[in-house]
Amino acid sequence: MELHSCVLIVLKVFLLLIFVENALSIKCWDCRSDADPKCSDPFDNTTFAITDCKQLKPLSYLPDVQATMCRKIRQKENMDRIV
């Protein structure tokens, strides 16, 4: 009976760690207003799926770096504002 209890405790801790890791991952909206006007301001976050940054391919120039934040960029390209 004691071995069974230990196995259950280890299994519960393992499942808890999996859920904590998933909850702590960064999730952002990935869109460009020049490609989709719904991405522009005011942004409606119910129209886009959230991207889990842990699932993205690493950048070629930063292969071992994980994302730690999301960012919003506003810029003008050919006199059009892109968000």
> In what helix (H) or strand (E) does residue 22 lie, and over which residues does it extend?
helix 2-24
Which three-class secondary structure state does DSSP give residue 49? coil
> Alpha carbon of 62 to those of 21, 22, 28, 66, 72: distances in Å?
22, 22, 19, 9, 20
- Residue-wise pLDDT for 46-58, tens only, equals 878 888 887 788 8
| pLDDT recorded at residue 81 | 67
Q: What is the pLDDT of residue 52?
A: 83
The pTM of this model reads 0.48
Three-state secondary structure call for residue 73: coil
- Asked if 28 contacts 53 with a C-beta cutoff of 8 angstroms, the reply is yes
The b-or-e profile of 7-17 (16+ CB within 10 A means b, else e) is eeeeeeeeeee
Task: Break the chain into its structural domains and give their ranges.
Answer: 2-82
Q: How confident is the model at residue 21 (pLDDT cuts 50, 70, 90)?
A: low
